[in-house]
Amino acid sequence: MNTSKRLEGIGEYYFSTKLREIDELNRQGKNIINLGIGSPDQPPHPDVIRVLQEESAKPNVHGYQSYKGSPVLRKAIAAWYAQWYGVVLDADTEILPLIGSKEGIMHICMTYLNDGDAVLVPNPGYPTYRSAVKLAGGVCVDYTLSDENDWLPDFVELERLAEERKPRLMWVNYPQMPTGKLPDSALFGQLVAFGKQHGILICHDNPYSFILNERPMSLLAVDGAKEVAIELNSLSKSQNMAGWRVGTLAGSRQRIEEVLRFKSNMDSGMFLPLQLAAAKALSLGSDWYDSVNAVYRDRRVLVLELLDLLGCDYSPGQAGLFVWAKVPQGYKDGYALSDRVLYEAGVFITPGGIFGTAGDAYVRVSLCNTREKLRESIDRARGAGICSKQ
């Protein structure tokens, strides 16, 4: 039995294979410290867990749920967008809860792409954009992000690609992963104008806007954005709920109805108590976000100490759960530094090349680990002689 043609050129997700290697090293007694994946290690707010527990104990909440999600959750998402982003959404027609925003990336590609359709994807960028486009039969067209351009799109390049390739979609992600680059209103305005000019649906993936960022922004805050843009969001990072798999898609009524046509044939609604707990999480005030960011800000000091030890260069103004850093001279690429730190110090950091060729000279380090583990990582690297003076 052969696999389908749609899987040709699609490998297993990098972290899936790397975690198996790390598991094998741990079985050998290596005790690897994983600074790779951005999975929050802190729990959600206690009130969120309490709602899940209380609602789960009720006898009438265990059946199938609406494909469009609970009205309670949709209203909570609308209120969250209004409070934090200044964006007005109709809870009945402009919001679609998702089983994580990663699901939404696939849904969007399957909804809008035909075989051979071109899609603009950032390089470097989240690898799932690329794999979802390919699985849907589309063709990835890279637009390059570089340190020289402050990790912003080059709109001269975008204009050329739009004329030559006639893309249907463009994937955008700010605060950007893996680079941590923050957006501003000028960038979002340019993206909306670009989409309108060329008839391109701008798909903005926005899970990091609350992490180490004083000014959360939504692309949908731009006047007229709903005409040409949709936005994914998630509770995974901002609410410490990665394993709960709660995300959302926001956009015009037409876009929501189009994606729902695909989604409703692929899955069912989320467990109702989980949706109600998610609604509680979205009602939390600034104290919650301040407490989350205080932890990450404290940890970032140690991550920067580790990167200084390794001789890496980085921008101090990054947002999100990671620090993106350029490897020092003497290493072929980020893979070489990552492998050395893994095999000699027992610490895993992510090679930037998995995010695209523009990331080859970089590594990414997660803030989702305790101070103790971060301090131990520094001690291990220093003990193994891995430092800027090679």
> For residue 30, what pLDDT is reported?
87
Instruction: Say whether both 110 and 243 belong to one domain.
Output: yes
CA nearest to 248, candidates 204, 210, 289, 292: 204
> For residue 224, what pLDDT is reported?
97
Instruction: Say whether both 278 and 358 belong to one domain.
Output: no
On whether residue 51 sits in a domain, the answer given is yes
Number of domains in the chain: 2
Which residue among 283, 302, 326 closes a domain? 283
Radius of gyration for the chain, computed over Cα atoms and rounded to the nearest angstrom:
21
Instruction: Say whether both 51 and 34 belong to one domain.
Output: no
Give me the numbers of helices (H) and strands (E) for the chain, helices first please: 12, 13
Instruction: Say whether both 143 and 234 belong to one domain.
Output: yes
Stretch 340-365: mean pLDDT? 96
> 296-325: per-residue pLDDT in tens?
999 999 999 999 999 999 998 899 999 999
Which residue among 256, 283, 310 closes a domain? 283
d(CA 127, CA 114): 20
pLDDT at residue 215 above 50?
yes
Instruction: Say whether both 158 and 251 belong to one domain.
Output: yes
> 225-283: per-residue pLDDT in tens?
999 999 999 999 999 999 999 999 999 999 999 999 999 999 889 999 999 999 999 99
CATH of the domain at 211: 3.40.640.10
d(CA 87, CA 217): 9
On whether residue 358 sits in a domain, the answer given is yes
Which structural domain, as residue segments, surrounds residue 209? Answer: 46-283
What lies within 8 Å, CB to CB, of 131 at 6+ separation is 10, 13
> For residue 350, what pLDDT is reported?
94
On whether residue 389 sits in a domain, the answer given is no
How many of the other CB atoms lie within 10 Å of CB of 231? 26
Q: Please, which pLDDT band fits residue 52 given cuts at 50, 70 and 90?
A: very high
Instruction: Say whether both 114 and 227 belong to one domain.
Output: yes
AA identity, residue 207: P
AA identity, residue 117: D
On whether residue 388 sits in a domain, the answer given is no
Instruction: Say whether both 262 and 308 belong to one domain.
Output: no
pLDDT at residue 10 above 80?
no
CATH of the domain at 324: 3.90.1150.10
Instruction: Say whether both 114 and 101 belong to one domain.
Output: yes
> For residue 7, what pLDDT is reported?
75
Instruction: Say whether both 16 and 143 belong to one domain.
Output: no
On whether residue 332 sits in a domain, the answer given is yes
Stretch 8-26: mean pLDDT? 75
Instruction: Say whether both 16 and 75 belong to one domain.
Output: no
Instruction: Say whether both 25 and 76 belong to one domain.
Output: no
Which residue among 252, 283, 314 closes a domain? 283
Beta pairing, strands 118-123 & 229-234 = unpaired
AA identity, residue 331: Y
Please return the burial class of 174, using the count of CB atoms within 10 Å of its CB with bins 0-12, 13-18 and 19+: buried
On whether residue 390 sits in a domain, the answer given is no
On whether residue 151 sits in a domain, the answer given is yes
Instruction: Say whether both 343 and 291 belong to one domain.
Output: yes
On whether residue 314 sits in a domain, the answer given is yes
